[in-house]
Structure 1
Amino acid sequence: MWLINIYIYIRGRGIPPVFPVGPVIKTGSIDGIDGNECLRWLDKLPNGSVLFVSFGSGGTLSQEQLNELALGLELSGYRFIWVVKSPNETMKNASFFSVQGEENPLGFLPNGFLERTKDVGLVVPTWAPQVEVLNHRSTGAFLTHCGWNSTLESIVHGVPLIAWPLYVEQKMNKVLLVDGLRVALGVKENKKGIVESQDVATYVRDLFEGDEGKLLRKKMEEYKEAAKLALAEEWSSTKSLVEVAQIWKGLKN
């Protein structure tokens, strides 16, 4: 279900065939942006000990939710890298429509948070090299907005998830990850639409040390191996691409 599908219509053959190809992900960082600070920080830490927190290119939280997330991460006691964006009270995808750099996102964090968590957390404004962070040996979990790129990147690198969708198809992806693939813990909001700090801390602890977290981690490792096989020379993804190329070649001739 999580493979990218290429649909090709062939005249006169009825229902278009489906060719499963993937998983397809970006393997490098954005040109011109240095993410080495995150990787150097991770290099010093034990294997699988860090939670990566990111809501994607566009995701934003309200000020109240930003505070609750910060306090929850602190309360959990676990190491973390958190990509912080300035809060927005009306749009959950506000970063797509705002000019980055107008305000310092770190200035919106709770008073004293950075000082109190300096020994366990790294907070970076706006952007981090997500693929490299997920691929790092020290990264053990990913709190994500459930965007499709992030979903595929976590599967390819075998990193279990805390699923926190914000908008559009992300809520559907959460259902797939939590109930379908069973590689994620899904967050729950209170009556005000806020994920509370105590719950954030519980999700983090459960994923790292709880019985359910161990099952999710094992399941994600299985999908990681399946992804490797799918992309191998004699397996499904490569064979599908070859078949597509042969069909295109035949149509051209």
Structure 2
Amino acid sequence: MMLQKQLFSSLPLSIYSVFLPPVSFDDLSEDAKIETRIILSLTRSLHLLTDSFKVLAQSKRVVAFVADVFGTDAFDIAKEFGVQPYLFVATSVMVVSLIFELPKLDQMFSCEYRDLPEPIKLPGCVPFRGSDVPDPLQHRQDFAYRESLEICKKYPSAAGIIVNSFMEMENDAFEALMEGGRGLPAFYPVGPLTKCVSTNEIEGSKDYLRWLDEQPSGSVLYVCFGSGGTLSHEQINELAVGLEISGQRFLWVVKNPVDKAANAAYFDSKESGKAKDPSAFLPDGFLERTRDIGLVVPNWASQVQVLSHGSTGGFMTHCGWNSVLESIVNGVPLIAWPLYAEQKMNAAMLTDGVKVALRVQHKEDGVVGRQDIAKYAKELIEGDEGQLLRTRMKKLKDSAKLTLCPHGSSTKSLAKLAGIWKNQKHS
């Protein structure tokens, strides 16, 4: 909460924020899924949100109510005050398509999605495996799945859906959603919205940037699994050996190994604390043997600065949507290694749709082997297929730049939405 308050306090004065009191989860078991906690955070805060919204509406001209993907239960509050509800979706259009198709899929199939023999095909999207369906939807009898299904059924009641993607990247998926007769809300692609570098990040990131300055252009593989992604002890060992035997230069942002979950650092404050010395869990002698070609950075690095650096030639990523967009705006091809949430769907779109990524394959025990890791690294940086991916990513980068220009599709879409809100009557 402290970090969130610091973030909001740094925003322009025109942005006003209200923090609701935290809700109690004392009645939940310790192993309750994060999706369950997110959903209950909202439903148990609705009365507090109503009170805050009433105070806001008495003093401000409220023209729209924007919620995130879990926020449809708050639509009734917006409508109570005569305000149109909108949704902001921070993931791909492909995920939005799944949201609208989920009630239909739920009726079509009785088995778990991962057990489907044939790929799932959404309108305008590349086919993907049932096992690529986001984690909360993989256990259909769980609370998180049933609640997610009810949330999806409320999406058509939104006045509009704002998506952090752009037409040139997911044109077919957008067009399929916007086809007449489906009764869906209006869609507003406004992406790619990506993070800018803060002063604090610049001041705290000199060592690895200096190291990048010393490397040849496009020669470094950046390895990072996001703010929350974690790997097991065994997988970290395989990754380390794979990077070493590949012979490729690498910059690896490494987190403490966690065997219990792939998202432990994101959802568990105990796992997101101070990083251990990497020498305590990396293979013996690894740091010494790779010191001429690699750099290991504990816990965190400024991803925007690394991806925008001329020495960075590839990105091994968990396929979180923010990371995907940051790689696109910097033209860096990918090795897709999805871990949790919707990342497997993102990986399918990146490899089979826009074709700017190699996707790792796991062995039967769920581990990606060292020889395969070495092969992916070498192919992306030096191979012919890596060059094809780089060429496609350069075109996608150019499209992303154009879509945010004054006459670009995302700029026009956002301007259209702003015009609608500007013309709204007082609530």
Shared fold by TM > 0.5? Answer: yes
Tell me the equivalent position of 1:143: 316
Tell me the equivalent position of 1:177: 350
Q: 1:88 aligns with which of 252, 258, 271?
A: 258
Q: 1:243 aligns with which of 413, 416, 425?
A: 416
Tell me, what secondary structure is at the counterpart of 2:188? strand
Tell me the equivalent position of 2:187: 18
Q: Which runs of 5+ in 2 are unaligned?
A: 1-90, 97-155, 161-182
Q: 2:295 aligns with which of 108, 122, 125?
A: 122
Q: 1:237 to 1:3 in 2, by over 3 A?
A: farther
Indicate whether 1:162 and 2:332 are aligned.
Answer: no
Identity among equivalent positions (%) equals: 56
Paired with 1:78 and 1:215, the residues of 2 have a C-alpha distance of: 18
Higher mean C-alpha deviation, range 123-132 or range 20-29: 20-29
Higher mean C-alpha deviation, range 83-92 or range 29-38: 29-38
Where in structure 2 are the equivalents of 1:56-75 lying within 5 Å?
56-75=226-245
Maintained 8 Å contact 1:230/1:236: yes
Q: Which amino acid counterpart does residue 193 of structure 2 have in structure 1?
A: V
Q: 1:101 aligns with which of 274, 287, 296?
A: 274
Task: Output the aligned Cα RMSD.
Answer: 2.0
Where in structure 2 are the equivalents of 1:28-43 lying within 5 Å?
28-29=197-198, 31=200, 34-43=204-213
Maintained 8 Å contact 2:92/2:321: no
Maintained 8 Å contact 1:54/1:145: yes
Tell me, what secondary structure is at the counterpart of 1:122? strand
Tell me the equivalent position of 1:47: 217
Shift of 1:29: 4.2
Length, aligned pairs only: 249
> TM-score, length-normalised on structure 2?
0.56
Q: Which amino acid counterpart does residue 88 of structure 1 have in structure 2?
A: V
Indicate whether 1:27 and 2:196 are aligned.
Answer: yes
Maintained 8 Å contact 2:255/2:275: no
| Cα-to-partner distance string for 1:32-70 (whole Å, 9 max, x where unaligned) | 671111111111111101000000001111111000000
Paired with 1:47 and 1:3, the residues of 2 have a C-alpha distance of: 33
Q: 1:102 to 1:72 in 2, by over 3 A?
A: closer
Q: Which runs of 5+ in 1 are unaligned?
A: none
Paired with 1:123 and 1:149, the residues of 2 have a C-alpha distance of: 22
Q: 1:204 aligns with which of 357, 368, 377?
A: 377
Tell me the equivalent position of 1:9: 159
Paired with 1:103 and 1:241, the residues of 2 have a C-alpha distance of: 44
Paired with 1:164 and 1:99, the residues of 2 have a C-alpha distance of: 20
Q: Which amino acid counterpart does residue 331 of structure 2 have in structure 1?
A: G
Determine which structure has more spread, i.e. the larger CA radius of gyration: 2
Higher mean C-alpha deviation, range 233-242 or range 94-103: 94-103
Paired with 2:289 and 2:403, the residues of 1 have a C-alpha distance of: 44
> TM-score, length-normalised on structure 1?
0.93
Higher mean C-alpha deviation, range 137-146 or range 165-174: 165-174
List, as ranges, runs of 4+ consecutive aligned residues in structure 1 with deviation greater than 3 Å: 1-5, 29-33
Maintained 8 Å contact 2:240/2:283: yes
Larger RCO (CA under 8 A, 6+ residues apart): 1
Shift of 1:252: 3.0
Q: 2:285 aligns with which of 105, 112, 120?
A: 112
Paired with 1:30 and 1:212, the residues of 2 have a C-alpha distance of: 37
